[in-house]
């Protein structure tokens, strides 16, 4: 309806620092992870140095053996060296394990916290927010965005850190072993870094292009898969296939570019690393022969270590470039999540509460906990005492104006008066403002002009939750939730007994068909399950409203998809629900509202006719034309 | 399963074959590098021979450069193969869905069909890409490295032969456990998401009943549970990584220790030790790669299954080759003993895996029971004859089981009502016999689920009767080519769809060759011209997705105009005017009657007023024809018709 894209003004750095706050509960664990990471990298350096020592020792002895011709060996020194190496191995494994294990806690835990936070925040958002944002969009924050965020925290971040540390540690080790020798490696490192830095943005660009094409493909497929029956009826398969093939071709091209570019990075860096290897070998041999690297044994050991280390340079580089993309995605996801959390929640400045009361013979009202069926509005006076107004269900609109967007009034100067236990019906085309009016009563939207009074109290002064508790609603879309039928009815009153559930179902004419189900009230249903008809779902939602037992009822009638007989049943149950309650009903079939105390005909946000059935028929206006089928309701 | 998929490579087959070959060659290059390195150490460094150093250094550089060019080339080729595969697959998939019969569409949910086009096929593409790149490269490296290690020292090689397979085995066993946890996890995440979605769409209910606190408490519990399950599942992965490290270190240690000893005893040279250490890490790396590729290929099975499930669907309506090019000439319809039931198997896409699983389980149970009986048999020492009898009965039992699962009943009209055969599906049409003459206007009335729509949908062969025949002009509808049949019979569906695009484009869907005059004429008759012309851009007004910028009544009138453009012999309106007001509807009916006198008109309606003037009104009840007659007769003689009439007249003064 009102498609407003929330464009965030956060920079990635700001998003990151915000994310940092969400890590707070895991501060200690994160510090341990960092320490473990440093230990891990340090042992990597030490391991390489130790390996070099061992190799040198072996080469030295081998040299002696070759000269003397006696193949003996001195184990003592070698064994000590090896034990130290094993010790490094163990420390390295332990530190890595600690890191990974704690990381799991942090990433999964943060996910859970963010999920719960987002959900809780979402519940507080005004209905307006849900009008402006498609369910699919909001859902994708819960699924896609949380998944990318998870990937970033759990995989990309640590990998990125480890990769950088790995490169750094390899460079440090090389410098420790031989500064001259390091020159060739560092030169190659710079070249490889250059390649990655040069290619990465291109890869990203191509991927973005691919994503856009994917969106097109998806949209087309979705539209035509949904409308497939129509395509079949008109024999249009070939034409549609042809169109799809064009879109498919474009997507494939974009995909080809993106894939080729990103995958090329691997052999490119891999072979550059092999080239480094060669360079080190030749350069090393040169240095050895010139005697720059000490004895043959020491030199060969150095050479071998360098070769090992050179492979440690290339892999982290490719890795880092990939993870960098994941981090960017993750931050974008985090940004979208935070923009939900930054949405302003419903304001609730109302102070007046709804309380259970008893009335003694003198008419004095005293509050009590769940003692009676009687309710009153409780207002605290300045002197600390309470003033009580009996809840009756008297609703008045005075000069109400409302618009969703500025300068586009949806309701104009609405005056309404519903006495307790009266039935008020609204008639009008789609967009005339019927639904808006009933949404104002329970403050799904707030009015900028005019006032709505409930038992003489401005509804703005009533605490929202209490206001809504006093109004039961049956919506056009039934919105049953996953669970048993009993659970769904109980949603109207969480602590209801089974007896109360059956009572409510009977009132809604639902008891009969529920009992006929193999599992009765324990039958599982969901928003989409098809074990119930539309009419039956409607009746359950009526039962749900009935069990709430509120003094005011709002009914949005079921649509034309229900056949006449079922409609009669629903009508009967709605009538029972309305009995003794102030009712606001939106009618789609005029036959159902004939007995209303007042029928209000709306057009373009204004009341054009009002009165009871007889009055309006006499008037021969719009209602008359609608009722006699001379005009169409849109 | 991959085999089926690979047949969609088509023109990219050559790339798919070429790329593993080239990649293997590239891998050989990689293998050569440490070998040359060893030579360089032995002949160049050890002896101080600079010439040898340059020589082997040069070789190495050459090999690397060749490998690099080759690699960059193969990336392109393999990408071509993989993306070509997914492109063809996507096209075939989409084309297949476009040709689905109605009963097949009913079995899939649109959501799952859309996911398959993109997500699943992309997954297959990635798995295939990985397969032709790594699944060949890694084994080549593994085998060649092993070979090199053996040629350096057989003693050292043997250790790898023991070490590598045992790690594989361990990891595979581990994966089996992990998979179980992950399936559980995914199910829980799914459930959680369903809950969020439900509450998102039903936010008004949550707010109406003031259940925010309740919702956040229950959600907290669910999220907590998901977190615990996730930890449990992913813990295995956390264990797996250090384990890989252990293996890696063990190999390194062994390379140094074992290799060192060999060197000390003079069995190998310093250069050979150098290359040995490199090969050790090659073996390790390629082993990990194989494992990963293997995992991906296994993981691709689920998407492949989902996609092939669609590709393997037979389009139910198939033109047989002998069919003649005859067209619908007059428009007389006849139903002979027609029975129909919808297939019970709903949402095939999501349910199939489970049902397969159940079937397997049941078969396993059955086997067990047979074994059990056999055991018992040994104890009680049945006579041979009895033994035979038991065997026969078991066989029978097995047969029945299979029958129950796999076979369709031969005569649905009778069999269908036996419990269990069609699951929850009921007979929707029972022994329908009916004649509609050409040019007649026929109304069909009945409550939801009485079979009105189904009856009409059999005429353009959108569904096939389970029993009996539907004839048009005396010819079985199956004897028409589908194209000709649907050109002659146009149906305005109940759930009608307009596509994104201009109004004109949408109308042309009915008849591509329609002229502007014809379009306008059809719209005038469908009472759509007025509102179309009231738009600023008239017929070029762009409709949004789902035509959300039109009212329900306007959409319906456009859909009628679209069908009129076909100039059909039989026009079926399935509740197509429910959102149109009565006076406009009457105008449409009048226009149809005046201009399409020879067209057989079948109107399915909720409102009596829609069918009151029909030549014939059919009253449907529970899949059977309750009565056929004119309004004036039915109002006297038919109870159902009377009921419907009286309930509707309450709201209307004059019909």
Give the CATH number for residue B628.
Answer: 3.40.50.300
Same domain? For B74 and B203 the reply is no
Whether residue B490 lies inside any domain: the answer is yes
Whether residue B272 lies inside any domain: the answer is no
Give yes or no for a contact between A331 and A145, defined as CB atoms under 8 angstroms apart. Answer: no
Min distance A384 CA to chain B CA atoms (Å): 27
Whether residue B52 lies inside any domain: the answer is yes
- Backbone φ and ψ for A512, nearest 5 degrees, come out as -60, -50
Question: Considering only CB atoms, which chain A residues are within 8 Å of B552?
Answer: 634
CATH number for the domain spanning B109: value is 1.20.1560.10
Min distance B155 CA to chain A CA atoms (Å): 18
Whether residue B492 lies inside any domain: the answer is yes
Whether residue B289 lies inside any domain: the answer is no
Nearest-by-Cβ selection for A108 from B231, B252, B653? B231
The answer to whether residue A469 neighbours chain B at the CB level (below 8 Å) is yes
Question: Considering only CB atoms, which chain B residues are within 8 Å of A475?
Answer: 204-205, 208
Min distance A84 CA to chain B CA atoms (Å): 12
> What pLDDT score was predicted for residue B426?
66
The answer to whether residue A634 neighbours chain B at the CB level (below 8 Å) is yes
Min distance A260 CA to chain B CA atoms (Å): 6
Same domain? For B205 and B352 the reply is no
Residue B211 gets which letter from DSSP?
-
As given in the structure block, the two tokens for residue A516 are: 């006929």
Q: Give the residue on A whose Cα is nearest the Cα of B199.
A: A481
Residues of chain A numbered 612-631 and touching chain B (CB < 8 Å): 627-631
Using CB atoms within 10 A of its CB, is residue B530 exposed (0-12), middle (13-18) or buried (19+)?
Answer: exposed
Q: Give the residue on A whose Cα is nearest the Cα of B118.
A: A218
As given in the structure block, the two tokens for residue A233 are: 């009826």
CATH topology for A12-341? Answer: ABC transporter transmembrane region fold (1.20.1560)
- Do A267 and B75 make contact, defined as CB atoms within 8 angstroms? yes
- Do A263 and B653 make contact, defined as CB atoms within 8 angstroms? no
- Do A248 and B91 make contact, defined as CB atoms within 8 angstroms? yes
- Do A101 and B270 make contact, defined as CB atoms within 8 angstroms? no
Whether residue B291 lies inside any domain: the answer is no
Nearest-by-Cβ selection for A222 from B53, B114, B230? B114
Confidence band, pLDDT 50/70/90 cuts, at residue A13: confident
- Do A225 and B113 make contact, defined as CB atoms within 8 angstroms? yes
Place of tokens 């048993």: A484
Domains contained in chain B, number: 4
Question: Considering only CB atoms, which chain B residues are within 8 Å of A308?
Answer: 277, 281
Residue B613 gets which letter from DSSP?
T
> What pLDDT score was predicted for residue A560?
47
Same domain? For B391 and B448 the reply is no
Place of tokens 């500064």: A179
Min distance B377 CA to chain A CA atoms (Å): 39
Nearest-by-Cβ selection for B266 from A66, A127, A492? A66
Separation of alpha carbons B141 and B128, rounded Å = 19
Confidence band, pLDDT 50/70/90 cuts, at residue A500: very high
Same domain? For B503 and B583 the reply is yes
> What pLDDT score was predicted for residue A347?
81
Question: Considering only CB atoms, which chain A residues are within 8 Å of B509?
Answer: 230, 234, 236
- Do A526 and B194 make contact, defined as CB atoms within 8 angstroms? yes
- Do B551 and A430 make contact, defined as CB atoms within 8 angstroms? yes
Same domain? For B172 and B148 the reply is no
> Is domain A399-627 given the CATH code 3.20.20.480 in the classification?
no
- A355 vs B373, more confident: A355
As given in the structure block, the two tokens for residue B295 are: 């995992």
> What pLDDT score was predicted for residue A35?
92
Q: Give the residue on B whose Cα is nearest the Cα of A534.
A: B448
- Backbone φ and ψ for B433, nearest 5 degrees, come out as -125, 130
Separation of alpha carbons B526 and B602, rounded Å = 15
Min distance B293 CA to chain A CA atoms (Å): 15
Q: Which of A607, A243, A603 is nearest to A424 (CA)?
A: A607
**What is the arrangement of strands in the sheet containing B616-621, beginning at the earlier edge strand?**
B489-492, B570-574, B600-604, B441-445, B616-621, B624-629
Same domain? For B190 and B125 the reply is no
Same domain? For B360 and B261 the reply is no
In a mutagenesis test of the A interface, which of B77, B194, B208, B522 is the best target, namely the one with the most A β-carbons within 10 Å?
A: B208
> What pLDDT score was predicted for residue B367?
57
Nearest-by-Cβ selection for B207 from A73, A127, A229? A127
pLDDT in tens, B438-468: 999 999 988 776 888 889 989 988 888 888 8
Whether residue B322 lies inside any domain: the answer is no
CB–CB contacts below 8 A, A to B: 399
Question: Considering only CB atoms, which chain B residues are within 8 Å of A268?
Answer: 68, 71-72
- Do B210 and A303 make contact, defined as CB atoms within 8 angstroms? no
Q: Give the residue on A whose Cα is nearest the Cα of B317.
A: A232
Separation of alpha carbons A113 and A24, rounded Å = 11
Residues of chain A numbered 112-131 and touching chain B (CB < 8 Å): 112, 115-116, 119-120, 122-124, 127, 130
In a mutagenesis test of the A interface, which of B45, B57, B248, B268 is the best target, namely the one with the most A β-carbons within 10 Å?
A: B45
Confidence band, pLDDT 50/70/90 cuts, at residue A210: confident
For residue B300, give the 3-state DSSP assignment: coil
- Do B448 and A566 make contact, defined as CB atoms within 8 angstroms? yes
Same domain? For B186 and B38 the reply is no
In a mutagenesis test of the A interface, which of B22, B94, B241 is the best target, namely the one with the most A β-carbons within 10 Å?
A: B94
> What pLDDT score was predicted for residue A129?
86
Q: B363, B387, B415: which is the final residue of a domain? A: B415
In percent, the amount of chain A with pLDDT more than 70 equals: 93
Whether residue B398 lies inside any domain: the answer is yes
Min distance B559 CA to chain A CA atoms (Å): 10
Q: B415, B435, B456: which is the final residue of a domain? A: B415
pLDDT in tens, A151-203: 888 888 888 888 888 888 888 888 888 888 888 888 888 888 888 888 888 88
Question: Considering only CB atoms, which chain A residues are within 8 Å of B500?
Answer: 223
Separation of alpha carbons B101 and B98, rounded Å = 9
Residues of chain A numbered 290-329 and touching chain B (CB < 8 Å): 296, 299-300, 303-304, 307-308, 311
- Residue A490's Cβ-side half-sphere holds a number of Cα atoms within 13 Å equal to 15
- Do B30 and A101 make contact, defined as CB atoms within 8 angstroms? no
For residue A375, give the 3-state DSSP assignment: strand
Question: Considering only CB atoms, which chain B residues are within 8 Å of A303?
Answer: 41, 45, 274
- Do B214 and A100 make contact, defined as CB atoms within 8 angstroms? no
Positions in chain B whose pLDDT score sits under 70: 111, 315-321, 343-426, 449, 545-546, 548, 647-655
Same domain? For B37 and B120 the reply is yes
Tally Cβ neighbours within 10 Å of residue B436. Answer: 22
> What pLDDT score was predicted for residue B182?
83
Question: Considering only CB atoms, which chain A residues are within 8 Å of B453?
Answer: none
Give yes or no for a contact between B453 and B355, defined as CB atoms under 8 angstroms apart. Answer: no
Min distance A15 CA to chain B CA atoms (Å): 24
Q: Which of A319, A288, A323 is nearest to A303 (CA)?
A: A288
User: Which runs of consecutive H residues, i.e. helices, occur in B442-481?
Assistant: 452-457
In a mutagenesis test of the B interface, which of A256, A267, A346, A466 is the best target, namely the one with the most B β-carbons within 10 Å?
A: A267
- Do B497 and A236 make contact, defined as CB atoms within 8 angstroms? no
Q: End-to-end CA distance of chain A, in Å?
A: 17
B54 lies in which domain range?
1-152+300-315
pLDDT in tens, A401-429: 888 777 677 788 888 888 888 889 988 77
pLDDT in tens, A273-286: 888 878 888 888 88
- Do B448 and A264 make contact, defined as CB atoms within 8 angstroms? no
Domain extents for chain A?
A: 12-341, 353-390, 399-627
- Do B509 and A230 make contact, defined as CB atoms within 8 angstroms? yes
Give yes or no for a contact between B201 and A131, defined as CB atoms under 8 angstroms apart. Answer: no
Min distance B265 CA to chain A CA atoms (Å): 5
As given in the structure block, the two tokens for residue B448 are: 């939801």
The answer to whether residue A223 neighbours chain B at the CB level (below 8 Å) is yes
As given in the structure block, the two tokens for residue B643 are: 């009921």
Give yes or no for a contact between A57 and A78, defined as CB atoms under 8 angstroms apart. Answer: yes
Same domain? For B168 and B35 the reply is no
């Amino acid at each position: 309806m009102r498609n407003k894209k929330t464009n965030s003004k956060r920079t990635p750095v700001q998003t990151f620092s915000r994310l940092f706050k969400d890590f707070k509960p895991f501060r200690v664990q994160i510090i341990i992870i960092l320490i473990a990471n440093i230990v891990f990298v340090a042992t990597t350096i030490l391991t390489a140095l130790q390996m070099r020592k061992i190799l040198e020792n072996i080469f030295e002895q081998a040299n002696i053996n070759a000269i003397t011709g006696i193949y003996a060996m001195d184990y003592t020194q070698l064994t000590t060296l090896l034990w130290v190496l094993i010790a490094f191995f163990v420390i390295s494994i332990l530190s890595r394990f600690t890191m990974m294990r704690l990381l799991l806690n942090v990433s999964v835990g943060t996910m859970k916290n963010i999920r719960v936070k987002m959900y809780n925040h979402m519940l507080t958002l005004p209905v307006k927010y849900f009008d402006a944002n498609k369910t699919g969009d909001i859902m994708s924050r819960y699924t896609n965005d949380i998944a990318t965020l998870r990937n970033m925290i759990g995989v990309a971040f640590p990998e990125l850190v480890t990769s950088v540390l790995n490169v750094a540690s390899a460079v440090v080790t090389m410098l420790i072993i031989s500064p001259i020798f390091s020159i060739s490696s560092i030169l190659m490192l710079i070249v490889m870094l250059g390649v990655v830095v040069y290619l990465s943005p291109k890869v990203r660009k191509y991927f973005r292009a691919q994503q856009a094409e994917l969106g097109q493909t998806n949209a087309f497929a979705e539209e035509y898969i949904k409308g497939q029956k129509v395509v079949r009826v008109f024999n249009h398969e070939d034409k549609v296939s042809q169109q799809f093939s064009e879109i498919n071709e474009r997507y494939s091209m974009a995909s080809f570019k993106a894939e080729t570019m990103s995958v090329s990075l691997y052999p490119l860096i891999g072979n550059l690393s092999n080239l480094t290897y060669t360079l080190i070998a030749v350069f090393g041999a040169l240095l050895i022969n010139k005697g720059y690297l000490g004895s043959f044994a020491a030199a060969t050991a150095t050479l071998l270590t360098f070769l090992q280390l050179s492979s440690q340079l290339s892999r982290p580089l490719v890795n880092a470039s990939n993870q960098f993309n994941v981090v960017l995605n993750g931050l974008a996801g985090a940004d979208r999540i935070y923009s939900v959390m930054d949405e302003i929640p419903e304001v609730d400045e109302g102070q007046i509460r709804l309380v259970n009361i008893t009335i003694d013979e003198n008419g004095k009202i005293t509050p009590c906990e769940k003692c009676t069926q009687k309710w009153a509005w409780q207002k605290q006076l300045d002197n600390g005492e309470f003033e009580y107004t009996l809840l009756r269900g008297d609703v008045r609109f005075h000069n109400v104006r409302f618009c969703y967007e500025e300068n586009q009034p949806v309701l104009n100067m609405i005056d309404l008066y519903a006495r307790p236990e009266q039935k008020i019906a609204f008639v009008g085309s789609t967009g005339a403002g019927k639904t808006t009016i009933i949404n104002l009563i329970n403050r799904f939207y707030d009015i900028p002009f005019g006032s709505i009074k409930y038992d003489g109290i401005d509804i703005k002064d009533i605490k929202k939750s209490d206001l809504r508790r006093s109004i039961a609603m049956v919506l056009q879309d039934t919105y049953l939730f996953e669970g048993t039928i009993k659970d769904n009815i109980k949603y109207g009153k969480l602590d209801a007994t089974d007896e109360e559930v059956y009572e409510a179902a009977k009132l809604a004419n639902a008891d009969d068909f529920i009992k006929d189900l193999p599992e009765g009230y324990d039958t599982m249903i969901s928003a989409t399950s098809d074990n119930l008809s539309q009419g039956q779902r409607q009746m359950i939602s009526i039962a749900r409203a009935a069990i709430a037992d509120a003094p005011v009822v709002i009914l949005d009638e079921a649509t034309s998809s229900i056949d006449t007989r079922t409609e009669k049943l629903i009508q009967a149950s709605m009538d029972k629900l309305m009995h003794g309650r102030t009712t606001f009903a939106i009618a789609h079939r005029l036959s159902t509202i004939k007995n209303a105390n007042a029928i209000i005909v709306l057009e373009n946000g204004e009341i054009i006719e009002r009165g009871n059935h007889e009055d309006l028929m006499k008037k021969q206006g719009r209602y008359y034309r609608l009722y006699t089928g001379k005009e169409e309701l849109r | 399963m991959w085999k089926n998929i690979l047949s969609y490579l088509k023109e990219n087959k050559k790339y798919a074959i070429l790329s593993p070959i080239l990649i293997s060659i590239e891998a050989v290059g990689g293998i050569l590098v440490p070998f040359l390195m060893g030579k360089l150490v032995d002949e160049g460094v050890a002896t101080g021979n600079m010439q040898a150093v340059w020589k082997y250094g040069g070789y190495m550089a050459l090999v690397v450069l060749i490998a690099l060019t080759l690699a960059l080339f193969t990336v392109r080729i393999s990408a071509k193969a993989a993306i070509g595969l997914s492109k063809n697959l996507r096209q075939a998939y989409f084309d297949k869905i476009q040709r689905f019969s109605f009963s097949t569409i009913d079995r899939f949910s649109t959501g799952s069909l859309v996911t398959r086009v993109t997500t699943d096929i992309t997954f297959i593409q990635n798995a295939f890409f990985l397969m032709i790149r790594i699944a060949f490269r890694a084994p080549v490296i593994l085998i060649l490295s092993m070979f090199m290690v053996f040629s350096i020292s057989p003693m050292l090689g043997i250790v790898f032969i023991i070490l590598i397979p045992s790690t594989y085995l361990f990891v595979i066993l581990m994966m089996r456990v992990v998979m179980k946890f992950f399936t559980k996890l995914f199910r829980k995440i799914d459930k959680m998401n369903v809950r969020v979605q439900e509450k998102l769409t039903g936010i008004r209910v949550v707010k109406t009943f003031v259940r925010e606190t309740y919702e956040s408490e229950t959600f907290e519990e669910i999220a907590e549970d998901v977190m615990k399950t996730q930890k449990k599942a992913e813990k295995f992965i956390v264990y797996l990584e250090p384990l890989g490290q252990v293996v890696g270190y063990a190999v390194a240690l062994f390379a140094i220790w074992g290799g060192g000893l060999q060197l000390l005893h003079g069995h190998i040279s310093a250069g050979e030790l150098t290359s040995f250490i490199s090969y050790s890490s090659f073996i390790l790396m390629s082993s990990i790669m194989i494992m990963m590729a293997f995992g991906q290929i296994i993981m691709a099975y689920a998407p492949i299954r989902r996609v092939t499930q669609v590709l393997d669907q037979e389009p139910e309506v198939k033109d047989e080759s002998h069919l003649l090019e005859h067209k619908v000439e007059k428009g007389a319809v006849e139903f002979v003993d027609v029975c129909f039931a919808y297939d019970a198997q709903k949402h095939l896409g999501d349910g199939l895996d489970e049902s397969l699983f159940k079937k397997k389980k049941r078969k396993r149970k059955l086997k067990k029971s047979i074994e059990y009986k056999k055991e018992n048999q040994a104890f009680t020492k049945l006579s041979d004859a009895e033994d035979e009898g038991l065997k026969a009965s078991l066989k029978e039992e097995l047969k029945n089981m299979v029958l129950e699962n796999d076979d369709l009943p031969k005569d649905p009209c009778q069999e269908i009502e036996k419990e269990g055969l069609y699951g929850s599906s009921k007979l929707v049409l029972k022994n329908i016999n009916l004649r509609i003459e050409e040019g007649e206007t026929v109304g069909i009335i009945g409550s939801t689920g009485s079979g009105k729509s189904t009856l009409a949908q059999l005429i353009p062969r959108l569904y096939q009767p389970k029993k009996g025949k539907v004839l048009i002009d005396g010819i079985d509808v199956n004897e028409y080519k589908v194209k000709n049949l649907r050109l002659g019979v146009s149906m305005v569906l109940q759930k009608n769809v307009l596509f994104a695009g201009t109004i004109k484009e949408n109308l042309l869907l009915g008849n591509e060759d329609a002229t502007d005059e014809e379009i306008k004429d059809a719209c005038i008759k469908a009472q759509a011209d007025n509102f179309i012309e009231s738009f600023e851009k008239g017929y070029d007004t762009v409709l949004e997705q789902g035509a959300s910028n039109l009212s329900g009544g306007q959409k319906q009138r456009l859909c009628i105009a679209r069908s009129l453009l076909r100039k059909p012999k039989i026009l079926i309106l399935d509740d197509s005017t429910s959102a149109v007001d009565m006076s406009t509807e009457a105008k449409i009916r009048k226009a149809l009657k005046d201009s399409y006198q020879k067209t057989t008109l079948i109107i399915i309606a909720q409102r009596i007023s829609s069918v009151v003037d029909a030549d014939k009104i059919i009253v449907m009840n529970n899949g059977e024809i309750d009565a056929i007659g004119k309004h004036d007769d039915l109002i006297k003689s038919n109870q159902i018709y009377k009921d419907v009439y009286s309930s509707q007249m309450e709201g209307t003064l004059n019909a």
